[in-house]
Amino acid sequence: MAESERISTTYRRGIIKSFKHDGSLHRMWLENWIVPAELLQPEHAEAGVQVLLNERTLIREADGKEWISRVPAAAFFLPGEWFNVVALLEDRGIRYYCNVASPFYQYHDVWTYIDYDLDIVKLPDGTVMELDRDEFNRHRLEYRYDAEVLARIDDGLARLKERLECRSVPFGDEQVRRYYEEWKKTQRRPDRP
């Protein structure tokens, strides 16, 4: 087996599903590529971070509507954390879209989590914004989040902001680019440029 064939088989397909607090489906990313443990950056491997990559993936909303993502992305799932991070590789730089969410659950090649609406976005210029506080406030009443869930959400938001300020895992532009470029090399076939 040629070296390029061996490497291209190390990435497996995975699905990401987000749910609402009541268990209803929120959104699915249907084609992602799982970065194998042996290809994780050392600090990610040490922290147990799981990384999935996608490019022009089919996304299905809860109402059945489908659309294709416009930019490549790397999704980072950190064990036990009440957030996950999606690094979007845009023309002007990397935008980090951070979901305040339950810790992920993985079953085979499917990653699931509960989305709690609050989001933090870090733009390529360093600007950080909180989004969807109104949606969170509406859903905390509608879904009756209990005191424990609210405390975990607050703690997750604080821990996320701390990681952003310190630029700790997974907020490393070079690492994101490296994951994407290495994966992209495996997607090129000898019969294509």
Instruction: Verify whether residue 12 is a known catalytic residue.
Output: no
Single out the catalytic residue among 27, 60, 152, 177.
27
Q: What is the per-residue burial (b if ≥16 Cβ within 10 Å, else e) of 59-91?
A: beeeeeeeeebeebbbbbbbeebbbbbbbbbee
Q: How many helices (DSSP H) and strands (DSSP E) are in the chain?
A: 5, 11
- Catalogue the active-site residues: 27
